[in-house]
Structure 1
Amino acid sequence: MTPNKIVSIAVALAISPTAFASQGGMQDFLDALRDFESGINPNLSTFYAENLDNPVYTYAKVTKPGRLVRDCSTGVMVSEPTTINQFFQKLGIDGIYNPNTPHDPEMFRQMQFNSLNAWGFVGYQLGEAVLIDAGYYSPNTVNIDGKEYDSFYMFVPDSTWIGCKTEALAEIPGSGGNQVYVTDTNLWQGTFVGKNGINSFNDLVIPEKQELVIRDAMHFNYKIMSKLLADANMTWEQALAKSWPDKDDNGQPIQVQATMSGILAAAHLRGAWGTGALLTKDQITCDELGTCITKYVHKFGGFDTLFDVPGDSVSHGSVYDEVLTAGWGNDTVILGGGKNQLLLHEQSGTTTTVTDFVLNKDLIILRGWQTADPLATLTVSDRNGSSELQFAGQSVILNGIAASDILASPESVIQVSNIYTLAWNIGKQVVDNFNPAVDKIEGSAGIGFKHLKAYETANSIIIGPQAEDGGIYASYELIGLTLADLTPDMFINVTGGYDRLGFIVPLSHLNWGWNMTLDVASFDVNKTVLTLPSNQPTPFSALKLTQEGANVVITLLEPTAQGDKKKIVLHNTDVTLLSAANFSGFSGSYSEVTIDIPVMFDIHVAVNGTGGTISPVPGTDGLLQAKGGTDFTVNFIPDNGYKVKDIVVDGVSYPAASSYTFTSVNSSHNLTVSFEAGASCPVAWDSNAVYVAGDQVTYNGTVYEAKWWTSGNQPDLGGPWQAIASC
């Protein structure tokens, strides 16, 4: 979607491919694409300066940058004669352009990345949809007739907007029937998720950040197109051998040859699915302004890119951090200077030469290879001032690097990476060696982060798409990982923002059975859901949620409990922040839940001097918290060779004992204990404990010894106990 697609014919002819597009590497390709897509071409600086007040363009009428005016009877945009000054105003960049420095390269760079066309596309003409696909943006959601839909702009026929409509339900191409509530322009009402530090629209227009977005968008499109080709039983070699008839900018017939850069540009214009239809079905489609897909294939063809092509070729990166591919021939790789990953294709007999590999910065990755343990036969040797790595029938030459430097740490140079593809039908898979640094979970079949749920077990995390009934029937269990190990970089080809990944706690008889306690160490109230199977509904009215210190304890009430004492402990959770959104499979209304937020009282405790400690252990401020209306016991634990000397509670001294109990706590208290040298008293008698002959306990300042097995017998009543000393 480019602003200068609708300028006058005379001006359009001035922006011919030869004006800006010459063969080069990835950055040359992107610069050429941005010169065209942004509508701002530095090569036209003189033309701009000479026509600031001349209506040399025909451009869309807008109410403000990014908000075009349509003919309500047809839904088609309304265009009008436009001066250069008006053109800059319509793109929202008039405040950047300085007529006193009309040829300033940095000024034009800023104008390009900030250019907002009439449909709300920015810079490289990035829209909401591509940022969702690339993982930078979560769309706004709306509720229509009780059903929630994502809402964002995507191309639909102009007739959709007849009657001055600005919103409508439409199906996403290639999604298998997934509908969204489309808007007639990019409104940018969703949420930036923070990927690569992009937290807002203002971040998006920063050149260095937008450069990362366009690369991720192209990686996404390349992945989708590769899958579409595979589904059609086509190879990239067959796809890149294709050509189509078209006309050049002068109207002369031409034959447009497919190249990787041209195909990537076409996917930027018409999406991966539209370009897939061109490659597999020769289906030529056009955008909102009638610019057809083959125009981009021709205009931006012939550049080296990040992506390998069959046969001997060049992959060419840039100063930015890149992910490149190579290996489908005797290839040359120019990394370009960023921190790079080189994904090497598996093709026996090939040699890949890397011109500018930097140790401890760049990394070669063998991802998804069919050969088992391809680095098992790795050898590294010197070769004419360079090093050669040989493995699994392939070679990589790293120019200017000595073999000894690689052998010192081979894993910092080359690693094997496994891909685990998510699909609705993979069943439950266990992975016991997942490496978060290089291994990837790959999406398929339109799976987005909004479909994915993750949860933590005692020794693993489980990730999979959640079905309509709440179940997760296809998943990977990653042994040895926790939810804290999850990062956006672990996922590829999963659409939408990582922030939409949900967390659940699946409840079943296995982890929440009779009298069982389920400890949930990590519970994010904003996105974690306690999930019951749909065939085991529990009414909200049977739940009791109790705040116990920093934790929430969930138990069942009678008569539903029927004596079952099972509970769920949500660690570090505030009960007041829980809502119905945190529960799935429960019946009734969340308002029927019993919530117990007890009154807590401070117990200030201290040890006077040395010789022992207190249990429970107080905080650094000497505070313990006691639940109001209950008994609260503080235990005294003498060090070896010490005993309790005295106890002072609220200024009153009490006889030495092994503990002190506050009964029916209804206020705050102060307690100080002192220890002195001497034999310590045995532990206090516990009415629930079992004792055998010879066991000793302390009760009311006296030491008792058991004569035989006993439980529940009060020591001062005789029977199995005999008094042996004072304490």
Structure 2
Amino acid sequence: MNRFRPRRTRHRKHRRAAAAWLLGAALVAGAIGYPPPAGADELDRSQPSKSYDEFIDAVWAYESDIDPSEQSYYNDNWDNPVESYPEVEYPGRVIRDDNGDPVEATGLTIEEFFKIIGIGHLYSPADPSPDWRLIQSNVINYLGFVGFQFQESDLVDLGYYEFETTTEMQITYPIHYVDVPNSHWAHGVREFVAYPPIVDRSTIVRDVVVFADDFFTGKNGINNYADFTTPDKHILVIKDHFENKYQGIVSGLSARGKTLQDYLDTEVYWNQLDPPVNPPPGGRTNDVKITLSGLLAGAHLRGAEGVVSLLVDHKNPSDENGTYILQYVQDYAGYDTPFGNRTSLEIKRRRLLRPDLAVIGNG
């Protein structure tokens, strides 16, 4: 499913993750008894492996707009007008103009911004050690996306939630948020009935995400919204979410006669995709190494089908915020994952070091 990632407008740091060939070669060479390439020891010390937990933390900081490394910025600007963000009636309920577009609030202090996204009561500049995961789990953006920026359909896909429904004229309609053009919300409209191909089935589409306690299924002890925004439970959902995206990528590629091994450790180029982007945004390099963690991040933004389209069809779509799927693939490359990690990298390195070795990977 395509994902809308609204952002506040302050310039953000891009979390870049470049692959370290010599480090990987050193690790593999050591494991099979061959000397590592020159310089690998130095890289081994300076480029440690990045864990799956670090991957989740990096994506979560960006998605929630709450980055623990920016604590000094939050404290220094607690009372300073430094932020811009859409106005809300309350956290998760955007205020729109007559055209259906969000109304932008400017000159917000950090205190005001935190109140808008529902975490004002969880943070104090006087606290030297905030509970960052509790704060991140409780963020509600102006469209109602929660924590890791989940919407109702994400939790339905994972079995944690059921859509609210209503029955009219013997037809049962699910009710939930769907990403549609803002013009649908002109003149105060907040929901409408949508039909295929906008949605898979006839649906009452809301303009914001709404989670209600009655529709949580109890999976993994998540019985209500309060459970869902508890850090330990939220992390369970995040990990299930990425497993779901991984399986979606694998099955989507299989349906096209492809496998992950066909693409891992290959490169794509910003200026050779559809649409071509030159120069790449944010000072990124034109060449992008395909890694599993990058693909998982891309699937979080644009769905597993978006990743398959990138790999097979060379499509690089952006969301309404102008964020390309390749940005996530590039920015979150090179982390470990529980789904095979750097399989294709290891195959290439072992063949380079020992061409006579037969290596079988598992993607």
Same fold (TM over 0.5): yes
Aligned to 1:183: 206
Contact 1:262 1:296 in 2 (8 A): yes
Distance 2:194 2:263 in 1: 30
Aligned to 1:76: 101
CA drift of 1:257 comes to 2.7
Contact 1:7 1:56 in 2 (8 A): no
Q: 1:31 to 1:135 in 2, by over 3 A?
A: same
Distance 1:255 1:328 in 2: 19
Q: Determine whether 1:39 maps to 2:62.
A: no
Q: 1:207 to 1:222 in 2, by over 3 A?
A: same
CA drift of 1:252 comes to 5.3
Q: Secondary structure at the match of 2:205?
A: strand
Pairs within 5 Å for 1:57-72: 57-72=83-98
Q: Secondary structure at the match of 1:181?
A: strand
Aligned to 1:606: none
Q: Secondary structure at the match of 2:188?
A: coil
Runs of 4+ in 1 over 6 A off after TM superposition: 172-175, 327-330
Distance 2:196 2:224 in 1: 25
1:52 to 78, 85, 91: 78
Contact 2:175 2:206 in 1 (8 A): yes
Distance 2:197 2:65 in 1: 27
Q: Which amino acid aligns with 2:334?
A: G
Q: 1:253 to 1:272 in 2, by over 3 A?
A: same
Aligned to 1:100: 126
Q: Determine whether 1:149 maps to 2:183.
A: no
Contact 1:242 1:279 in 2 (8 A): no
Structure 1: which 5+ runs fail to align?
Answer: 315-326, 331-347, 353-727
Distance 1:22 1:145 in 2: 61
Q: 1:228 to 1:306 in 2, by over 3 A?
A: same
Q: Which amino acid aligns with 2:290?
A: A
Q: Which amino acid aligns with 1:244?
A: Y
Contact 2:122 2:135 in 1 (8 A): yes
Structure 2: which 5+ runs fail to align?
Answer: 18-46, 271-276, 351-357
Q: 1:83 to 1:173 in 2, by over 3 A?
A: farther
2:151 to 127, 140, 143: 127
Pairs within 5 Å for 1:462-477: none
Contact 1:236 1:309 in 2 (8 A): no
- Which structure features the higher share of helix residues? 2
Distance 1:328 1:134 in 2: 35
Contact 1:329 1:350 in 2 (8 A): no
Q: 1:237 to 1:351 in 2, by over 3 A?
A: closer
CA drift of 1:310 comes to 7.5
CA drift of 1:164 comes to 2.2
CA drift of 1:123 comes to 1.3
Distance 1:8 1:271 in 2: 26
CA drift of 1:351 comes to 8.6
Q: 1:129 to 1:147 in 2, by over 3 A?
A: same
Q: Which amino acid aligns with 1:220?
A: N
Q: 1:193 to 1:292 in 2, by over 3 A?
A: same
2:318 to 286, 299, 307: 286
Contact 1:2 1:36 in 2 (8 A): no
CA drift of 1:349 comes to 6.3
Q: Which amino acid aligns with 1:79?
A: E
CA drift of 1:196 comes to 0.4
CA drift of 1:210 comes to 0.7
Q: Percent identity?
A: 33
Q: Secondary structure at the match of 1:163?
A: helix
Provide TM-score, normalisation by structure 1: 0.40
Contact 1:2 1:38 in 2 (8 A): no
Q: Which amino acid aligns with 1:188?
A: F
Distance 1:312 1:242 in 2: 12
Distance 1:270 1:224 in 2: 12
CA drift of 1:275 comes to 2.6
Q: 1:29 to 1:192 in 2, by over 3 A?
A: same
2:9 to 7, 28, 37: 7
CA drift of 1:224 comes to 1.8
Pairs within 5 Å for 1:421-570: none
Q: 1:291 to 1:18 in 2, by over 3 A?
A: closer
Pairs within 5 Å for 1:632-651: none
Provide TM-score, normalisation by structure 2: 0.78
Aligned to 1:701: none
Distance 2:348 2:167 in 1: 48
Q: Which amino acid aligns with 2:15?
A: P
Q: Which amino acid aligns with 2:207?
A: D
Q: 1:252 to 1:228 in 2, by over 3 A?
A: closer
Aligned to 2:338: 306
Q: Determine whether 1:275 maps to 2:300.
A: no
Deviations 1:543-574 (A, max 9, x none): xxxxxxxxxxxxxxxxxxxxxxxxxxxxxxxx
- Structure with bigger gyration radius: 1
Aligned to 1:258: 290
